[in-house]
Structure 1
């Protein structure tokens, strides 16, 4: 059953994230607006447009962020590099996921790229983020600095060693634990390995001490419940492509139970 969109979901993403409310989202891997519209209509809290690992350019990201606004779902963008933050923020992204934050210095650079006051974000109020000129300088600066969520991806073993310093960076709203990258970096093949499990526990404990939210990608609600008990509050499950594959696989498997072919008709003569 389709759930009516909540008009405050997208606008309040940062406040809900910082308050460590339960948030559920997914990655968008396909450069099309339709998955975001569907997910928003269903009641998901956010989508993450994956510019790091999927075929997006500024135009497709811009269109999907517009779809996110229309569907009342927060549009977050995982950029490939900090230098790309400006373009997606001008397009109206509610937040930025910054990959491979492995030091407090990189965390400070990420925050600076996303903030006007005390940061280095290039000014323009002529974009969607500024209402195409509707917001004056002061209003645009204030609104964007209060709205944009900055999330650091913790996905390198070196980041685990300095996680307290990273979380202490002023203006960093929270962290996302990249267990896939950590697993590969540790030379393992499953995220349930001892090294990744220990690193995840260490990061979640550090986030609790810092009073900052932690996001994590999980296989679903059952796995998320365990991480929630340890302090995670924001969950990314699958992707638009993953959902398509899962549903299509289930349908195809169901058809597999049918006969391979019709039996030849027999004559009554």
Structure 2
């Protein structure tokens, strides 16, 4: 396997390479994989999300996301998002076998920044820096949610509209009239294509966006309104039913991860 990078004057290969992104516009990377590289997304400001078979992840600035080599992933970044993408040679043991959030201590951030700023370090210090950075990455449990997208044109239109505006409270009958299908047929299509009823799918869509907004440090009251709930308490109850913890507990996990990263 070819190395990720190589010193121009010596046969010294390095195994970690970091790219920085500052996005003026909304950007989506279609589903893809890297068979020869693990991927670490980190250093986020703004709204960065990733979807793999292991779930849907909103990536806060306090954490990183480890994507093992060979795992198909789709990444979406809102306008104004800033983040780093570090590629790690697949020959290096994975931090985790599945897509997972990781705490990134300040020393790791400093090491990765230095490796990016000074790519032509001599072999010995570079190897030591790479090994130390990877050894200090720590998997962290975060909330994820599985939300299959339907393929039929009519159900897809409804799904995309609800993801765009989860507070849209139109009934299945209203949506049927909007897309030219009976409520009964639309309901059947949702179950057939996603394995979920329309109401369950909409609830999960609301939770998916809620995770993203909570990860961006919006208040529970703000997120509950944007997610379509009349009161914060109704939102908290729905969040706990779907994710097994309250929005406050979700924030607490992120806060503890931030302390570990300090």
Tell whether the structures are fold-level matches, with TM greater than 0.5: no
Task: Give TM-score scaled by structure 2 length.
Answer: 0.26
Q: Which has the higher strand share?
A: 2
Q: Which structure is higher in helix share?
A: 1
